[in-house]
Structure 1
Amino acid sequence: MKILVGSLVGGAALVGSTAALLPLAMMTSMGVSDVALAPVSSCTVDASGLTVDDLDTEQLKNAATIIGVAVSLKVPPRGQAIAIATAMQESGLRNLAYGDRDSLGLFQQRPSQGWGSPSEVRDPARAASAFFGGPASPVKNGGLLSVKGWQDMELWEAAQAVQRSGFPTAYAKWEGLANDVVTKLSGATSTCEPLAVGSWTLPISTGYTLTSGFGSRVHPITGEVRFHAGLDMAAPTGTPVRAAAAGEVTWAGVVSGYGNLVRIRHAGNIETYYGHLSAFVVRAGQQVQAGDLIGKVGSTGNSTGPHLHFEVRHNGEPTNPDPFLREKGLKP
């Protein structure tokens, strides 16, 4: 059984690999960063022949995903066991489409409490990343890595600090199984692909203001709370918009909501989106380099004023552009 575990969140690759997320020596010049990237974008974990008592294939797959995320974030085995025990108690290590009130997924995270949209909390890799938290967290809720002294707590205490369950000590009964899962899966073979390499640059170099970040927000037009999949960079109409990295333009046209949109596919299954443009100067199939002019700031589509809506996606899933770019030495 080969399990692809990985979904890039905040520049930290969510993978089942023994490769650690190493500190990067970052150098920037004129908004462009050339960084030898240590993280990987995704890994295929070969769990063939591995068995864990009392776990079926579905549960083992979800456990492998959680551990892959943990390894990419440099969470030690103790933290991995806490996450596995938590998921066992909350969902039986199953990606549930139901739960108490609006609770969903492996960790029974609640969209109404800031854990993400219903589809996001049912993404096992993203849910695991949110549980662990830390700088790469896709949510603002505090995760395990934000709990002071979690390494020295009883397993149930650490889990409860994140989950805030009505039955805090219930996590303790899964500690033995969780330790067994971590021990067995830590020996699984993994094959990893490198994250997109080369120069990266901010899509707008200067003269912009960040007006909206990644995550849940009150939509400026509808007034509803919705998930915002990128960064909004307000700038005067006509401000140059540049490719964030080398790649191939896969779309240059009108998309509902985005208005005039350019999409660029980069190495490592990374895509960048540039929305609300007043004009674009590239076409689908065109190769571009980091810093190449691709369009100009505008206010097309669902927009309240001139700005660039910038997204980063990995395997089609939105990831927070802010820490992703900071990982490359760039500060949006």
Structure 2
Amino acid sequence: MASAAPARTRSPFPRRRLLATGALGLAAAATLGAVAPASAAVLDDGDLAAQESAQWTEEFLTRPETREGFVLEAMDDWQVANATFIIAVVKGHELGEEVAVVALITAIVEAWLYNYEPAVDADSGGLFQQRPSMGWGTYDEVRHKKHALDAFLGLGEHSQAPGLLQVVPDVASWEPGAAAQAVQASAHPERYTELVGAAREIWDRFADDVEPYTA
């Protein structure tokens, strides 16, 4: 992998701010400050909602496609940030662990938890490698993390493709890998099931500290 997430000791950022971003490593937090200077300021408690909303940006979490693979214990800042973003949005929709696990394993298998800018396969892109030609939204929408995740969940008004809650309304009763495959129709369905354990570990590590995201 590119790098292991740096230690989070002696952080120059308030603990509350780090928890709002899902315990991002310092490198990602520093990058956030460069991309969105206004969000780097320490806000009063009354401004926490605005602060948390500002943490979830699109640009600083986007990087070119690589094929480095996925190693749970070597997740870099990009992967931690995208994983915790998925958890935050799922919680914002008042959905639980099972839905988050399906979304996480899909983003791991499809894009190693990176929000890819270039097309990787035909016209696919983003966290879920969604294809505009298949009704998942425009070029920009499939690369916009919130739009892409909402579309995957079946909650994106911009998407014409059936998402998880439409294809598998009783998702909690499904094996997560099978639920992911029902949405993605992959040529390699076994890959989703292989990542279920990693996705549950990610949920266990971060879910309690990640605030729901509803914007």
Contact 1:130 1:143 in 2 (8 A): yes
TM-score, length of structure 1 as denominator length: 0.42
- 1:170 aligned partner: 191
Where does residue 175 of structure 2 map in the other structure?
154
Among 28, 49, 53, the residue aligned to 2:73: 53
Report runs of 4+ in structure 1 exceeding 2 Å deviation. Answer: 1-4, 40-46, 189-192
Distance 1:191 1:148, change over 3 A: closer
The equivalent of 2:104 in structure 1 is 84
Does 2:87 match 1:67? yes
**Pairing 1:119–2:119 present:** no
> What residue number does 1:309 align with?
none
State the partner residue of 2:125.
Answer: 104
Q: Is the 8 A contact 1:45 1:190 kept in 2?
A: no
Give a deviation string over 1:132-173, Cα, whole Å, max 9, x none. 114x54323211111243221111110011111111121011
Specify the SS of the correspondent of 1:107: coil
Q: 2:203 aligns with which of 155, 160, 182?
A: 182
Contact 1:133 1:142 (C-alpha < 8 Å) held by counterparts: yes
CA contact (8 A) 2:114 2:126 kept: yes
TM-superposed CA distance for 1:53, in Å, is 2.0
Please list every run of 5 or more consecutive structure 2 residues that lacks an aligned counterpart in the other structure. Answer: 1-17, 23-48, 56-71
1:191, distance to aligned residue in structure 2 (A) = 8.9
d(CA) in 2 for partners of 1:91 and 1:115? Answer: 16
Residue in 2 aligned with 1:94?
114
* Aligned equivalents of 1:41, 1:144: Cα separation in 2: 29
Q: 1:162 to 1:118 in 2, by over 3 A?
A: same
Counterpart in the other structure of 1:142? 162
Q: What TM-score, normalized by structure 2, do the two folds share?
A: 0.64
Matches of 1:176 and 1:58 in 2, distance apart?
A: 20
- Partner in structure 2 of residue 3 of structure 1: 21
Whether the 8 Å contact between 1:44 and 1:191 is mirrored in structure 2 is no
Deviation per residue, 1:13-45 (Å, 9 max, x gap): xxxxxxxxxxxxxxxxxxxxxxxxxxx888359
Is the CA contact 2:123–2:131 (under 8 Å) kept in the aligned structure 1?
yes
Q: 1: CA distance between counterparts of 2:102 and 2:183? A: 10
2:150 alignment partner in structure 1: 129
* Greater helix fraction, Structure 1 or Structure 2: 2
Secondary structure, aligned partner of 2:115 = coil
Deviation track 1:92-111 (CA, whole Å, cap 9, x = no partner) reads: 00111221111101100001
Q: Say whether the 8 Å CA contact 2:98–2:172 is kept in structure 1.
A: yes
Letter in 2 for 1:186: A
